[in-house]
Amino acid sequence: MSKSREKMQLTVELMRRGAVMMKEPCPIDNGVQVRYKGKVYCTTHDDLETALSTKEVTYADIASSLRDLILVKLKENAAVLENEKDPKRQDEIVALITRCVDLLNKLEVSQRT
C-alpha cells in the first residue's frame, strides 16, 4: 500500500473516532491538521498510528494510580515514624501523613460523585 493511501486511511480512522479537521494548515508543511483528544496532528508528517493507539486517560485511571501511590507512601512514612526519635521530624512526618489521609478522603469523595 502506498504511503499516501495509508496516511489517508489513518486520517479517515481518526475522523471516524472523533477527530476534527482544523481550518489552519500545518505551519511546517501546509498539510491538513486534525485535532484528536486535545492534540493537533498534521496528516502529512505526524505519526497518526501513534495517535490512534494512544490510550485515553481518564480521571478514574489517574485517581486510582494516585490512591495506590499515596497508600505506599503512607506505609513508608508510618515505618519511618515508628523509628524516628527527633520530635521535630516526628511532627513533619505526622503532618505529611495527615495530608496524605486528607487527599485519600478527597479522592474517595470525588469518585462517589
3-state secondary structure the chain: CCHHHHHHHHHHHHHHCCCEECCCCCCCCCCCEEEECCEEEECCCCCHHHHHHCCCCCHHHHHHHHHHHHHHHHHHHHHHHHHCCCHHHHHHHHHHHHHHHHHHHHHHHHHHC
Q: Per DSSP, what are the bridge partners of residue 33? A: 42
Of 3-17, 40-54, 83-97, highest mean pLDDT: 83-97
pLDDT in tens, 29-88: 998 999 988 889 999 898 888 888 876 677 887 888 899 999 999 999 999 999 999 999
State the pLDDT at residue 1. 61
pLDDT average, residue stretch 21-35: 92
